[in-house]
Structure 1
Amino acid sequence: MTTNQTTHPSVFLDATAVLDGPLPVEISMEPIRHGAPFAYERVLYDAAGAFFAVWACDAGVYPRVKDKRGSFMYIISGEATITDEDGTSHELTAGSVIVLPYGWVGTWDIRETIRKVYLHTTPVPPYRAGVQPSAFLAAVDVLGGDLHAPVAARVASWAPPVAETVVFDGPDGRCAVQERGPGVFRRAAAEGASYLYVISGEATVTDEDGTSHELTAGSAVALPDGWAGTWDIRTTIRTVHVDTAPIADK
Structure 2
Amino acid sequence: MTTNQTTNPSVFLDATAVLDGPLPVEISMEPIIQGAPFAYERVLYDAAGAFFAVWACDAGVYPRVKDKRGSFMYIISGEATITDEGGTSHELTAGSVIVLPHGWVGAWDIRETIRKVYLHTTPVPPYRAGVQPSAFLAAADVLERDLQLPDPAVGTSWAPPVAETVVFDGPDGRCAVQERGPGVFRRAAAKRASYLYVISGEATVTDADGTTHELTAGSAVALPDGWAGTWDIRTPIRTVHVDTAPIADK
TM-score class, shorter: over 0.9
For the structure 1 residues 154 and 133, does the alpha-carbon distance in structure 2 shift closer, same or farther, using more than 3 Å as the test?
A: farther
Cα shift readout 1:53-105 (whole Å, capped 9, x = no counterpart): 00000000000000000000000000000000000000000000000000000
Counterpart position of 1:235: 235
Shift of 1:152: 10
For the structure 1 residues 154 and 46, does the alpha-carbon distance in structure 2 shift closer, same or farther, using more than 3 Å as the test?
A: farther
For the structure 1 residues 243 and 35, does the alpha-carbon distance in structure 2 shift closer, same or farther, using more than 3 Å as the test?
A: same
Please give the secondary structure, in 2, of the residue aligned with 1:203: strand
Shift of 1:245: 1.6
Shift of 1:126: 1.5
**Residues 79, 114 of structure 1: 8 Å contact kept:** yes
**Residues 161, 181 of structure 1: 8 Å contact kept:** no
**Residues 151, 160 of structure 1: 8 Å contact kept:** no
- 2:147 is aligned with 1:158: no
Cα shift readout 1:88-129 (whole Å, capped 9, x = no counterpart): 000000000000000000000000000000000000012100
**Residues 67, 103 of structure 2: 8 Å contact kept:** yes
Shift of 1:2: 3.0
Counterpart position of 1:65: 65
Counterpart position of 1:189: 189
Please give the secondary structure, in 2, of the residue aligned with 1:140: helix
Cα shift readout 1:140-180 (whole Å, capped 9, x = no counterpart): 00011122443799985124543110000000000000001
**Residues 163, 179 of structure 1: 8 Å contact kept:** yes
Aligned equivalents of 1:197 and 1:246: distance in 2?
20
Cα shift readout 1:191-225 (whole Å, capped 9, x = no counterpart): 10000000000000000000000000000000000
Question: How does the TM-score come out when normalised to structure 1?
Answer: 0.96
For the structure 1 residues 159 and 46, does the alpha-carbon distance in structure 2 shift closer, same or farther, using more than 3 Å as the test?
A: farther
Cα shift readout 1:11-41 (whole Å, capped 9, x = no counterpart): 0000000000000000000000000000000
For the structure 1 residues 183 and 18, does the alpha-carbon distance in structure 2 shift closer, same or farther, using more than 3 Å as the test?
A: same
Aligned equivalents of 1:154 and 1:28: distance in 2?
45
Aligned equivalents of 1:62 and 1:20: distance in 2?
24
Counterpart position of 1:212: 212
**Residues 196, 242 of structure 1: 8 Å contact kept:** yes
What count of residue pairs does the alignment treat as equivalent? 250
Aligned equivalents of 2:41 and 2:21: distance in 1?
10
Please give the secondary structure, in 2, of the residue aligned with 1:111: strand
Aligned equivalents of 1:229 and 1:195: distance in 2?
15
Please give the secondary structure, in 2, of the residue aligned with 1:61: strand
Root-mean-square deviation over aligned CA pairs: 1.6
For the structure 1 residues 24 and 151, does the alpha-carbon distance in structure 2 shift closer, same or farther, using more than 3 Å as the test?
A: farther
- 2:127 is aligned with 1:127: yes
For the structure 1 residues 182 and 166, does the alpha-carbon distance in structure 2 shift closer, same or farther, using more than 3 Å as the test?
A: same
Per mean C-alpha deviation after superposition, the further-off stretch among 239-248 and 1-10 is: 1-10
Please give the secondary structure, in 2, of the residue aligned with 1:125: coil
Counterpart position of 1:171: 171
For the structure 1 residues 212 and 153, does the alpha-carbon distance in structure 2 shift closer, same or farther, using more than 3 Å as the test?
A: farther
For the structure 1 residues 199 and 244, does the alpha-carbon distance in structure 2 shift closer, same or farther, using more than 3 Å as the test?
A: same
**Residues 149, 161 of structure 2: 8 Å contact kept:** no
Per mean C-alpha deviation after superposition, the further-off stretch among 240-249 and 66-75 is: 240-249
Consecutive unaligned residues of structure 1, counting only runs of 5 or more, are none
